[in-house]
Amino acid sequence: MADVGGEDAVPAPAPAEPGEGVPERTPSLRGAAAGGFGKLSKLYNKEKLMKLRSYSWNIFRYIGDYMHLFGVFALLATLAKNRSCSGISRSTQILYCLVFVTRYLDLLDKTQAFYLVFFKITYIVTSIIVLAVFYKLDATYERQKDTCSLAAILVPCSVSAVLLAETYQPFDILWTFSQFCEGFAMVPQYVFCYRDRLAKDVGVTLYVLSMGAYRCFYAANWIYKKVQMPHYSDLQSWLGGMIEILFFADYLLSFTGLSLLRSMVLKVDEKINEIKEKVEMKVLGSSSSVARESQAAGAELRQRRKIDEVEEAVDL
């Protein structure tokens, strides 16, 4: 659980000791303790465990970590430059905030290497900053394009986490939840991009490409480790990673106009929102889509007023 981008991605402080300074709670090593390796000792002896940890320090993981970090700062730079949230999905940012908070609870559990602490705190703090920016620049948020239902992602991920966690300890369940949730975290952003095909903001494109590339390098890292250590297994991370890479590959195809998932994803999204609206109308007597439309209309009216004011000033 002491991972950065999904696992335990940190450089070993001393090459001669591959396992030194490496957190015990890695996805494939959860349950191992300092004085013994618990039930995992039946599958791995100490030498194999140390080899598995040493193979974790590979170039694919390092590139993945820094691509992820680059993507985060590209997002912050885009928000600062545009002074607007246009082109960015708030739902994706909410999901990433949940991913980081639920995955990095081990910051409270034990002392860790500076590299780990830096990345984990950076991700948590920056995700909170991004959500604060959305709150401050709410008038620029394009709700009508950010239509992906959070409940449709959070409920299945929560159920899967309970069913597929290695143990029923809270940390393990939350760690597993974070893996599945990250697999779908970019889906709202992709839906946003599918609905916003004319937008060509370089910052937003750079952010999406960086986050997708980070996951691809992590997949290369998993393949490398599996080749080096055939007994290595981390199903939760693999499932989440494959889902995210699948959507990213389709996003890349969309640049050529050959998107295979766009129409399907939008149809599913619309169907989910139809069901959601019916439930809201029956339970609450009103629909969030109506509120979204009125807010969008209000934002458009404010924008028109600003344009009129500028034109009047030019005429004077």
Q: What is the pLDDT of residues 253-276, one digit of tens each?
A: 888 878 777 778 778 778 887 777
* C-alpha angle 195-197-200 in degrees, rounded to nearest 5: 130
Distance of CA 105 to the CA centre of its chain: 16
Residue 118 backbone dihedrals phi, psi, to 5 degrees? -60, -50
- CA–CA dist 32, 10 (Å, integer): 18
Residue 64 maps to a domain:
yes
- Please say whether the beta carbons of 250 and 220 come within 8 A: no
Residue 138 maps to a domain:
yes
**Average of pLDDT values for 169-183?**
94
Residue 119 confidence class, pLDDT cut points 50, 70, 90: very high
- Please say whether the beta carbons of 286 and 280 come within 8 A: yes
Crossing angle of helices 151-164/170-185, nearest 10°? 140
For the chain, give the percent of residues with pLDDT over 70: 72
For the chain, give the percent of residues with pLDDT over 90: 47
Q: What is the pLDDT of residues 187-203, one digit of tens each?
A: 999 999 888 877 778 99
More reliable by pLDDT, 225 or 128: 128
* C-alpha angle 233-215-172 in degrees, rounded to nearest 5: 45
Residue 290 maps to a domain:
no
pLDDT at 175 (0 to 100): 93
Distance of CA 302 to the CA centre of its chain: 33
- CA–CA dist 307, 183 (Å, integer): 41
Residue 126 maps to a domain:
yes
Residue 120 maps to a domain:
yes
**Average of pLDDT values for 247-251?**
91
Least confident of 16-25, 85-94, 185-194, 212-221: 16-25
| Structural Rg of the chain based on CA atoms | 22
Of 130, 136, 143, 126, the residue nearest 86 (C-alpha): 143
Residue 195 backbone dihedrals phi, psi, to 5 degrees? -85, -10
Place of tokens 């494109």: 205
**Average of pLDDT values for 114-120?**
90
Of 176, 187, 126, the residue nearest 152 (C-alpha): 187
Residue 229 maps to a domain:
yes
pLDDT at 200 (0 to 100): 77
Q: What is the pLDDT of residues 22-32, one digit of tens each?
A: 333 444 444 33
Question: How many structural domains comprise the chain?
Answer: 1
Residue 256 maps to a domain:
yes
Residue 107 maps to a domain:
yes
Domain extent for 248: 59-264
Supply the mean pLDDT for the chain: 79
Residue 39 has, within 13 A of its CA and on its CB side, a CA count of 5
Q: What is the largest CA-CA distance in the chain?
A: 83
Least confident of 6-20, 40-54, 154-168, 220-234: 6-20
pLDDT at 5 (0 to 100): 60
Least confident of 17-21, 160-164, 204-208, 301-305: 17-21
